[in-house]
């Protein structure tokens, strides 16, 4: 059939008045009750049956059916869930399959609020569904209930649909007033009309008496002006607040607030409902931009604080109050819909374009524009923070839940928040877009797919937090920051208790605590022995200390890595004494040469010596662990005053993924020494296993060292090629690299992302003293958390007693198939890909005895 062809609605007079409904039209009926919709839906369906049209009725609401059962109408049941994207995609796939010239009836769109709790998402659903129907030359009838939706939600529908018709009725008359009839016009088309069902007439109101009666009916249904702009979300919260203010029972309201705003994780929901007060929910709403969920990271942060408040009020006294804002998950979808690339979002969900379309989608996320209404709300945040720095952090719906940490998968962006209001707003918007775009990074997509989450809604909510800290000249940072673990299987000292918990502690911003950066080491703290270190001399303490401090540079409007010499002169004396130690041996060496020079390094020793502070951080984690019934990790800052006072800012909390050994594996005795490629003790982390290897990738340490710096990232890319070409092939692969894997500094090791190594069975870091490569487990870093979650074995080759055998030359007996992955002759000399599948090369890890062996049978 031809596009825009006139069709019969079953009411000939109405067809004449509206110049007919056309193929491609979406017809929205705003009614006071669904019987008013049936007055027009029933003739439409009957006429369609008579005209032998294909008719589909989408059934998803709890109200009585709008279309009677009959063989000529196909009823399709779509369960109404809280997952907007899944629900929308299911309907779109059916529409796409049915193709052109189909007639549709939809259940009442107003009921979508029961699942999505907001008018905003109902409007978004219509904005992406209506144009899709239009392209297929369909006709669709939609009812919505008057008075249930805000002006803004109705405006979205009005701007998108082809026909928008208001229906009013009393005991005598049925009135219809067209609000929009697209691409058609007449002198009387937009006047109120009277529909007489018995006579089948549909006539415009032209005389004053009938007009007066119409406006009398209209007046009964008009809402107060201010309420017209209130979303159903806000009306619900306003009602809940009124109940609370009047000392009425709010249990049901609190349960609903938790379900629609806090989390979808059932275990998290139970804990939130246990520890949250009504005031907690209202405070979240008061600091929320948009609607929807606040996401996993925000929920975990708020829940952990509530647990401490309820179970340890004495510790809560030293917690720095949070002043965070939350950008709801619905804003993410609305941004996509408003900028017109929802179709790309849907295509990217499919297996065929899951990875290939990600870059284009990420670029669109970066290039979109926010509505003026949303920008005004962003300005409220800027007004609140003044010109103090803040950070925009990912807080997706799936993030920081049980089993899915998403550690380091999404971006966090610091905003220096300096300059004119226009500059600060632009910086804020770009930060939001950057975090949104990071949802399409290769690492994030691979992570979701590996964990079976690629078909799940992954709405990106945002957590906006003021940077906790003080000004040191033009630099702004906390005194110290770190990550903490309530349980630590990594024993950097033999005598420590894993159940006591541990910290990775740094001076300045906490990014240094979770990333592997050049020549910089955080302070590792076991909370049963806070002052203990694995270093025996001052020289060792200095060598393995933090070298880079990260701080917000308020002059350059960015986060900078600083050498200690750059910021040390700006530190007050008391803080230098807490965070820094003297290297007396080097100072003595200078004095012997006639130089009086102070040499200090970052140790955070004054913090770890504070027994009360250490016990409080430990208590925080243990309390939360008991409530979670699961180990946890936290992010925190510490600020200290000259008087000895301090405050702890609890920034994040999530379930901690730990290795859980499933059974004992015993390494065979009496393996001939000539068959052993690698044997080490106390150098591995991961589950016990005995695996026949198929492939071993070895990066030659010396050759990699001599490689031009600018080309070192090519090695990481080649490893990624090997990884992705073997994806899903159930190959057991071992990767052996110099120095640190996953570092951002190529001079420290190979700068892979987790997406480059996700298919490997095991990772081995190799020490090479001549080239300065040192393995580092970096327990608690993002890359380590990835290895834990993926159950990838980690091991290291050291130039000490921990490595009993290491003879990589034996691998040369196997075919080197690197040419299957690269044509670059230089890379072929540096990276070797040994095919060991035809031989008998086994990797055996005995977790109980902390012994690992790679050997030939």
pLDDT at 225 over 60: no
| Sign (positive or negative) of CA dihedral 487, 492, 497, 503 | negative
| Sign (positive or negative) of CA dihedral 745, 751, 753, 758 | negative
Residues ≥6 apart with Cβ < 8 Å to 773 = 701, 705, 738, 739, 740, 748, 749, 766, 767
Split at pLDDT 50, 70, 90, the class of 68 is very high
- Can you state the angle between helices 358-367 and 421-438, rounded to 10 degrees? 160
- Residue 473, in any domain of the structure: no
Phi, then psi, of 163 in degrees rounded to 5: -130, 130
Q: What tens digit of pLDDT does each residue of 164-211 get?
A: 999 999 888 999 999 999 999 889 999 999 999 999 999 999 998 888
- The last residue of one of the domains, among 595, 627, 655, is 655
Beta strands in 385-447 (DSSP E): 390-396, 412-415
Q: In terms of domains, do 165 and 49 share one?
A: yes
Alpha-carbon distance 51 to 706, whole Å? 79
Split at pLDDT 50, 70, 90, the class of 358 is very high
- The last residue of one of the domains, among 205, 226, 247, is 226
Cβ contact 284:261 at 8 Å: yes
Alpha-carbon distance 119 to 233, whole Å? 7
Alpha-carbon distance 270 to 230, whole Å? 30
Q: In terms of domains, do 528 and 459 share one?
A: no
Residues ≥6 apart with Cβ < 8 Å to 189 = 17, 18, 19, 178, 181
Q: Which two tokens stand for residue 62?
A: 């709890």
Cβ contact 775:751 at 8 Å: no
- Residue 86, in any domain of the structure: yes
Q: What is the largest CA-CA distance in the chain?
A: 113
Using alpha carbons, select from 328, 339, 660, 650 the residue that is nearest to residue 489: 660
Q: In terms of domains, do 150 and 263 share one?
A: no
Q: In terms of domains, do 201 and 293 share one?
A: no
Question: Among residues of the chain, what percentage have pLDDT more than 90?
Answer: 67
Q: In terms of domains, do 299 and 181 share one?
A: no
Split at pLDDT 50, 70, 90, the class of 510 is confident
- Residue 664, in any domain of the structure: no
Helix segments in 746-804, DSSP class H: 782-790
pLDDT of residue 490: 65
Using alpha carbons, select from 581, 577, 607 the residue that is nearest to residue 484: 607
| Sign (positive or negative) of CA dihedral 487, 489, 490, 492 | positive
The CATH number assigned to the domain holding 522 equals: 3.30.470
Phi, then psi, of 496 in degrees rounded to 5: -80, 160
The CATH number assigned to the domain holding 186 equals: 3.40.50.300
Q: In terms of domains, do 484 and 441 share one?
A: no
Identify the DSSP state of 226.
Answer: G
- Residue 1, in any domain of the structure: no
Q: In terms of domains, do 574 and 686 share one?
A: no
- Residue 660, in any domain of the structure: no
- Residue 668, in any domain of the structure: no
**Left if phi > 0, otherwise alpha if psi is -120 to 50, otherwise beta: which for 369?**
beta
Q: In terms of domains, do 206 and 243 share one?
A: no
Cβ contact 485:419 at 8 Å: no
pLDDT of residue 227: 44
- Residue 446, in any domain of the structure: yes
Phi, then psi, of 23 in degrees rounded to 5: -60, 135
Alpha-carbon distance 404 to 406, whole Å? 6
Q: In terms of domains, do 222 and 239 share one?
A: no
Mean pLDDT of the 433-442 span:
93
The CATH number assigned to the domain holding 401 equals: 3.30.1490.20
Q: In terms of domains, do 338 and 242 share one?
A: yes
- Residue 516, in any domain of the structure: yes
Q: In terms of domains, do 140 and 267 share one?
A: no
State whether residue 154 is helix, strand or coil.
helix
Alpha-carbon distance 720 to 527, whole Å? 38
Q: Which two tokens stand for residue 302?
A: 């708020």
Q: Which domain holds residue 730?
A: 673-856
Q: In terms of domains, do 341 and 486 share one?
A: no
Q: What is the pTM of this model?
A: 0.82
- The last residue of one of the domains, among 411, 432, 466, is 466
Instruction: Say how many domains are in the chain.
Output: 4
Q: What tens digit of pLDDT does each residue of 671-730 get?
A: 899 999 999 998 888 888 889 999 999 999 999 999 999 999 999 999 999 998 998 788
């Amino acid at each position: 059939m031809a596009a825009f062809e006139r069709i019969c609605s079953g009411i000939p007079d109405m067809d004449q008045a509206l110049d007919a409904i056309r193929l491609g039209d979406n017809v929205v009926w705003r009614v006071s009750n669904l019987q008013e919709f049936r007055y027009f839906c029933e003739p439409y369906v009957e006429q369609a049956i008579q005209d032998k049209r294909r008719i589909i009725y989408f059934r998803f609401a709890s109200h009585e059916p709008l279309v009677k059962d009959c063989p000529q109408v196909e009823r399709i049941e779509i369960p109404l869930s809280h997952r907007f994207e899944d629900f929308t995609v299911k309907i779109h796939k059916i529409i796409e399959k049915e193709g052109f010239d189909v007639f549709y009836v939809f259940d009442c769109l107003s009921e979508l609020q029961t699942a999505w709790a907001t008018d905003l998402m109902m409007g978004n659903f219509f904005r992406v569904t209506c144009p899709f129907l239009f392209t297929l030359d369909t006709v669709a009838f939609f009812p919505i209930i008057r008075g249930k939706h805000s002006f803004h939600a109705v405006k979205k529908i009005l701007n998108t649909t082809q026909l928008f018709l208001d229906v009013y009725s009393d005991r005598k008359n049925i009135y219809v007033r067209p609000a929009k009839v697209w691409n058609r016009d007449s002198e009387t088309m937009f006047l109120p009309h009277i529909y007489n069902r018995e006579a089948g007439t549909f006539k415009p109101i032209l005389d004053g008496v009938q007009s007066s009666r119409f406006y009398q009916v209209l007046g009964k249904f008009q809402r107060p002006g201010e309420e017209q702009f209130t979303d159903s979300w806000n009306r619900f919260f306003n009602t809940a607040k009124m109940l609370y203010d009047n000392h009425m029972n709010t249990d049901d309201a609190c349960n609903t607030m938790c379900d629609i705003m806090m989390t979808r994780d059932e275990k998290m929901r139970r804990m939130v409902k246990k520890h949250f007060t009504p005031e907690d929910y209202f405070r979240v709403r008061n600091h929320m931009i948009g609607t929807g969920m606040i996401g996993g990271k925000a929920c975990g942060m708020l829940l952990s604080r509530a647990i401490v408040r309820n179970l340890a009020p004495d510790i809560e006294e030293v917690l720095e109050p949070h002043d965070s804002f939350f950008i709801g998950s619905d804003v993410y979808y609305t941004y996509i819909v408003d900028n017109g690339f929802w179709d790309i979002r849907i295509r990217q969900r499919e297996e065929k374009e899951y990875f290939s379309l990600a870059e284009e989608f990420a670029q669109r996320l970066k290039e979109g524009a926010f509505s003026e209404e949303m920008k005004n709300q962003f300005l409220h945040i800027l007004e609140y923070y003044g010109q103090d720095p803040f950070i925009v952090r990912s807080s997706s719906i799936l993030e920081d839940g049980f089993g899915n940490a998403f550690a380091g998968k999404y971006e966090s962006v610091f905003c220096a928040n300096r300059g004119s209001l226009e500059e600060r707003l632009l910086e804020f918007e770009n930060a939001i877009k950057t975090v949104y775009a990071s949802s399409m990074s290769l690492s994030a997509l691979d992570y979701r797919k590996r964990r079976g989450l690629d078909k799940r809604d992954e709405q990106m909510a945002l957590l906006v937090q003021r940077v906790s800290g003080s000004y040191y000249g033009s630099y702004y940072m906390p005194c110290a920051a770190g990550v903490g673990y309530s349980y630590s299987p990594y024993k950097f000292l033999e005598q420590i208790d894993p159940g006591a918990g541990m910290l990775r502690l740094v001076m300045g911003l906490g990014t240094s605590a979770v990333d592997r950066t050049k020549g910089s080491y955080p302070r590792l703290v076991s909370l049963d022995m806070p002052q203990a270190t694995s270093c025996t001399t001052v020289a060792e303490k200095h060598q393995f200390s933090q070298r880079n401090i990260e701080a917000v540079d308020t002059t350059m409007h960015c986060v900078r890595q600083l050498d200690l010499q750059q910021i040390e002169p700006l530190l007050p004396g008391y803080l230098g004494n807490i965070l820094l130690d003297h290297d007396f041996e080097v100072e003595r060496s200078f004095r012997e040469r006639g130089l009086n020079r102070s040499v200090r390094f970052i140790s955070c020793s004054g913090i770890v010596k504070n027994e009360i502070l250490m016990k409080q951080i430990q208590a925080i984690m243990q309390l939360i662990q008991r409530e979670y019934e699961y180990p946890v990790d936290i992010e925190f800052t510490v600020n200290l005053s000259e008087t000895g006072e301090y405050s702890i800012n609890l920034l994040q909390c999530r379930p901690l993924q730990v290795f859980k050994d499933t059974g004992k594996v015993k390494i065979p005795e009496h393996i001939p020494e000539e068959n052993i490629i690698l044997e080490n003790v106390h150098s591995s982390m991961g589950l016990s296993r005995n695996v026949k290897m198929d492939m071993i990738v070895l990066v030659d340490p010396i050759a990699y060292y001599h490689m031009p710096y600018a080309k070192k990232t090519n090695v990481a890319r080649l490893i990624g090629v090997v990884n992705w070409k073997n994806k899903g092939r159930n190959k057991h692969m071992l990767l052996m690299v110099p120095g640190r894997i996953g570092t951002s500094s190529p001079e420290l090791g190979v700068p892979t992302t987790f997406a480059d190594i996700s298919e490997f069975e095991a990772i081995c870091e190799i020490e090479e003293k001549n080239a300065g490569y040192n393995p580092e487990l970096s327990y608690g870093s993002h890359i380590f958390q990835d290895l834990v979650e993926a159950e990838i074995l980690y091991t290291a080759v050291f130039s000490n007693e921990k490595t009993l055998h290491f003879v990589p030359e034996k691998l040369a007996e196997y075919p080197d198939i690197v040419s299957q992955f690269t044509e670059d002759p230089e890379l072929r000399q540096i990276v070797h890909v040994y095919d060991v599948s035809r031989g008998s090369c086994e990797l055996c890890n005995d977790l109980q005895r902390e012994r690992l062996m790679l050997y030939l049978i």
